[in-house]
Amino acid sequence: MMTITKETPHIKPNGVEIAESILLPGDPLRAKFIAETFLEDYQCFNEIRGMLGYTGTYKGKKISVMGTGMGPASMGIYSWELINVFGVKNLIRIGTCGAMQENIELYDVIFGMGAATDSNYGHQYNLPGQYPLTASFELLEKAKKIADDQGQKVHIGNILSSEIFYNADRGANKKWQDVGILGVEMESVALYWNAIQARVNALCILTVSDHLITGAKTTPEERQTAFTKMMEIALELA
């Protein structure tokens, strides 16, 4: 691997290359799991603030994986630096979400074609209107083909990227459900904005870990197995 001398206050690769394609789970321990389970000849490129990042190979292709933490602020920092400092071109978020439609079940996989949001992250661009936050069609199209080839059922549509985990407005979820939002998570708004602004590719792939209508939830042990389906799609995509 080539020597990397660039660093930021949050990412210090210590000479390890960061690949142009990266998987971005929220949990840094999930990044560690992916590296140890799926990647060959992997090296750790970041340990700052416990946000673990690794680069290795998958089926001969160089791929990186790194945790991003929770919420748009954390995702905003890491994805901006990966894109603008380290030259990452394809960013694939692999995270969890709460389902918001009755036809979606636990462990189902959702591709976030577009992201609605209650976040002010986009206000920094001072646009004279609202900009649609959408995934890269290139990544979305390829991800759908991979899922089809693997025989995996996926849901494709709009998700909600919220700054709020514990919402005091108990009627808010119902309003988002009524306009067809598939699921809610907390990071895609910052990822999509940073990718759109820099004209690189981004896609949010989610596994349903809980259901906002039925109240059903997965256990930590069950999540590890269920998330593997999402990881395999993302790895083939990267």
Q: Report, as residue numbers or ranges, the catalytic residues.
A: 210
* Assigned domain for 4 exists: no
pLDDT in tens, 168-226: 888 899 999 999 999 999 999 999 999 999 999 999 999 999 999 999 998 876 665 55
How far is residue 34 from each of residues 87, 91, 179, measured CA to CA in Å? 22, 15, 35
CA–CA dist 125, 108 (Å, integer): 34
Q: How many distinct structural domains can be found in the chain? A: 1
* Assigned domain for 16 exists: no
* Assigned domain for 7 exists: no
Provide the pLDDT confidence category of residue 161 given band limits of 50, 70 and 90: very high
* Assigned domain for 9 exists: no
Residue 204 structural domain? 21-237
Report whether 30 belongs to an annotated binding site: yes
Give 167-200 as a DSSP string.
-S-TTHHHHHHHTT--EEESSHHHHHHHHHHHT-
154-161 and 109-117 as β-strands: parallel, antiparallel, unpaired? parallel
Report whether 187 belongs to an annotated binding site: yes
Q: What is the CATH number of the domain that holds 204?
A: 3.40.50.1580
* Assigned domain for 186 exists: yes
pLDDT in tens, 22-53: 999 999 999 999 999 999 999 999 999 999 99
Report whether 215 belongs to an annotated binding site: no
Per-residue pLDDT, averaged over 78-97, amounts to 97
Report whether 49 belongs to an annotated binding site: yes
